[in-house]
Structure 1
């Protein structure tokens, strides 16, 4: 992964001291809150329901073991001994003291971390597939391009105060999209053209929130070297024409829809014509330099441990299920990709304690070359585990709460912190997630249901990505009471689609029954090997609605 040079370290240290002085002046009454607001936002600091919230950047989801240990110590010393992984692969602290935030940022800088641009109307953390670099079907490793985007966008003076926040995601797999690129402001899919040249298919104008949209393609093939100049052209068009009079109409998706994708693309191409050969244009040497930070670890020459794993699976059904659901194929023979689930019933999805952060660091050192990755689904990945050590690893994970074999099942819920923490939330998310997990506690039944994405958001801002859940749950306010709206048919993958609202909302205690009724319709209507989403698309929403509102 990328390693800071002297320029990076100096810039990070100067940023911390700058914010330390800004915070001192705010606490002394020398800065009004409206003056401090944009300053704290671009340093990742929000004011939440009960306390400040600090969002720490985890570029494209990658963490070294020393960074994990530092996060554990910060969580222990400055917070209430737990933190929260988000759908943008970042980490949030929910209880830091305002006056201590500069000290936290200084501690982060010591291990090459920061909170820059994790909030505010700027370009946020660029995300990608958590399996980047180790999956066999990717066009190319997307992480160097994420790093190039990160370096280009960080502190970019032209894009520091955009009409609204701006999110970029990159995907490289031909088979699936684990980065949800089509619901981002810019989504980039690595492709090769007919000549075999590497480039990107560019989606612009995706996003969730009040007006969820799937981002249309505005360019089928963008040559590799033109990546940054083209992104700059997109941002310039947005900065120039995006609405600033109404924050609910300010996202780029609104502009793309208003101009039409074709009209928006024409403006981008016209702008790009002026800057495509500027110094921002990438060179092969620059790309190779960044790629040099993403070299393969010291893999051993191994054979696939087929016979050993077959024997271990036969002797232990629990291990067999974990292997089937939480372990994926690696591009190197003899290695595997392991997902540690943070979805044990009774624990808020994505939450992690200081002790668990230390444990993940130890596991990364012992089993995965000192590296871990945060996922879009709020889990953690060890990307380079020897197959002959999988059983040993599984035994180590069980007492730590990381071995729940519910990955991709109904219980692998994406969930925002909701009304327990966020002052924007209309309703609580965490109790709803737990109630659903407790209702569906039969793992054999979950396995029979197959893959179902269930996403929960506490408000229309959609931090839990409810719009693209196969089943989505949205907290709404009804005259001061918490209710929940259900949507069906969403997807965040290559077949991206916004879910349709089922009908009127439900009280919190009704939600598990509603989910049960939806699942029962699926079980009754599915054909052999048909997924929930396939069944929904075949029969439509009507049978689900009739059952739920009977």
Structure 2
């Protein structure tokens, strides 16, 4: 994984010292809250419903055991003993005291972490595939280009005050686990006819008030030209993006208003000017330097079949269920990818206690080359585990309530903090997700239902990605009463789609029964081998609408 150089460490240390002074002036009354707002946002500090919240950057979702242990320490010392992993692969602490934030930042800096550009109208944390470096069909580790973009975008003077926040995601396989088409810029690593690696570029995706799927504006951008092409996109956005209306300020609105063809024309013209000036041509030696940080671990030569694994699967049915849902294929024989669910039945999706963080750090250190990943679906991943160690990993996870066997199943839900924490929310998300997981707790039933993604947001800002859930739930406020609007057919993969609204919203008392009705309708309609999303695409919304509103 990437390690700080002298420049990185100096930059982060200077930012910590600078923000320490700003916090001191706020606490002394020299700065009002309005004056302090932009300063704190530049350092990842939000003011939520009940307290300040600190958002910590986890670039492209990669953490070392040492870094995770520091997060556990911060949770114990400065928060309430837990943190919350987000859909941007970051971690949030919901209860830090403002006076303690400089100390937290110093602790983070000691393990090469920070909160820079986790908020504000800038290029945010670049996200990527949690299976990077391990996926079978990967063309190239997407963390390499993600790190290049991170270095280019951090404190970029031209892009520090964009019309609105800006999000970039990178995928290295045909199977998109990074949701690139719902980002301001989505990057797909591809090969051309000459077997050269380059980038397919999507622009103008995003969720929130106006959900849109990104439009492809480039089939192949060569490696050495990527930063120049991205800079061209950002320049066009900076010139024409709306600054007079926060609801129309994202690049997706610009792409929608001028059209994808005109956006491509503008970007290509700007790109040609940048190339003519000879700027931002990415040197191969710099690419090679960064590639070296992401070289493959020293894998053992192992048979792909594991006798130890096969015996454990037969002897332990609960372990067999866990392998079935939580373990994915690895590109190296004898190894597997382990997904750790942060969605225990009745729990808060994405929450992880300090004790659990320490446990995962220990397991990663012992069994997965001292590294782990955060997923945009609010889980954790150990990318490189020997198959013969899978049962030992499972047994190490169990005492810490980290062995829930539900990845990609109905209880593996995405949910935003909602009205329990967020000042913008209209309704609670967490209790709804908890009740749904309790309703569908039976593991055999979950496996019978198969892959089904439920995403819940507490407001139209869509931090819970409800638009792209197979079943999406949006909390709305109707005269002070919480209601829940349902969408069906969304997806955030290589076939990204925005879900369709089924009809009138449901009350808090009705919503879990409504989900039950949707699932029952699917089970009665599916054909052999069909997932929920396959059935929905085949039959459409009408059977679900009919059963929902005949019942409710």
Q: In the aligned structure 2, how far is the partner of 1:107 from the partner of 1:205?
A: 37
Match of 1:171 in 2: 171
- CA drift at 1:347: 1.6
| 278 and 31 in structure 1: CA distance in 2 versus 1, 3 angstrom threshold | farther
Q: In the aligned structure 2, how far is the partner of 1:278 from the partner of 1:453?
A: 46
Match of 1:91 in 2: 91
Match of 1:407 in 2: 407
Deviations 1:338-375 (A, max 9, x none): 01111101220000011111111111111111111001
What aligned pairs does 1:128-527 form with structure 2 within 5 A after superposition?
Answer: 128-174=128-174, 176-276=175-275, 278-527=278-527
Q: In the aligned structure 1, how far is the partner of 2:356 from the partner of 2:320?
A: 24
What SS is found at the alignment partner of 2:221? strand
What SS is found at the alignment partner of 1:220? strand
Deviations 1:40-78 (A, max 9, x none): 111111000000000000000000011011101111000
- CA drift at 1:34: 2.5
- CA drift at 1:442: 1.5
Deviations 1:413-464 (A, max 9, x none): 0111111101111111110001101111111111011101110111111111
Q: In the aligned structure 1, how far is the partner of 2:412 from the partner of 2:506?
A: 22
Q: In the aligned structure 1, how far is the partner of 2:315 from the partner of 2:222?
A: 51
- CA drift at 1:288: 0.4
Match of 2:79 in 1: 79
What is the RMSD of the two structures over their aligned residues, measured on CA atoms? 0.9
What aligned pairs does 1:102-141 form with structure 2 within 5 A after superposition?
Answer: 102-141=102-141
What SS is found at the alignment partner of 1:333? coil
Q: Which moved more, 1:395-404 or 1:161-170?
A: 395-404
Q: In the aligned structure 1, how far is the partner of 2:331 from the partner of 2:536?
A: 34
- CA drift at 1:211: 0.2
- Residue pair 2:425, 2:459 contacting (<8 A) in 1 also: yes
- CA drift at 1:179: 0.1
- Residue pair 1:229, 1:278 contacting (<8 A) in 2 also: no
Q: How many residues align?
A: 549
- Residue pair 1:126, 1:168 contacting (<8 A) in 2 also: yes
Deviations 1:99-128 (A, max 9, x none): 111111111001000000001110000000
Q: In the aligned structure 1, how far is the partner of 2:36 from the partner of 2:147?
A: 29
- Residue pair 1:474, 1:484 contacting (<8 A) in 2 also: yes
- CA drift at 1:402: 1.1
Q: In the aligned structure 1, how far is the partner of 2:14 from the partner of 2:258?
A: 41
What SS is found at the alignment partner of 1:292? helix
- CA drift at 1:393: 1.2
Does 2:45 correspond to 1:31?
no
Does 2:64 correspond to 1:43?
no
Q: In the aligned structure 2, how far is the partner of 1:319 from the partner of 1:503?
A: 41
What SS is found at the alignment partner of 1:265? helix
Q: In the aligned structure 1, how far is the partner of 2:29 from the partner of 2:316?
A: 63
- Residue pair 1:305, 1:388 contacting (<8 A) in 2 also: no
What SS is found at the alignment partner of 1:162? coil
Q: In the aligned structure 2, how far is the partner of 1:501 from the partner of 1:424?
A: 22
Match of 1:537 in 2: 537
Q: In the aligned structure 2, how far is the partner of 1:46 from the partner of 1:312?
A: 47
- Residue pair 2:80, 2:95 contacting (<8 A) in 1 also: yes
Deviations 1:282-327 (A, max 9, x none): 1111100100111112221111243332222122211111111111
- Residue pair 2:307, 2:388 contacting (<8 A) in 1 also: no
What SS is found at the alignment partner of 2:256? helix
- CA drift at 1:36: 1.6
- CA drift at 1:279: 3.4
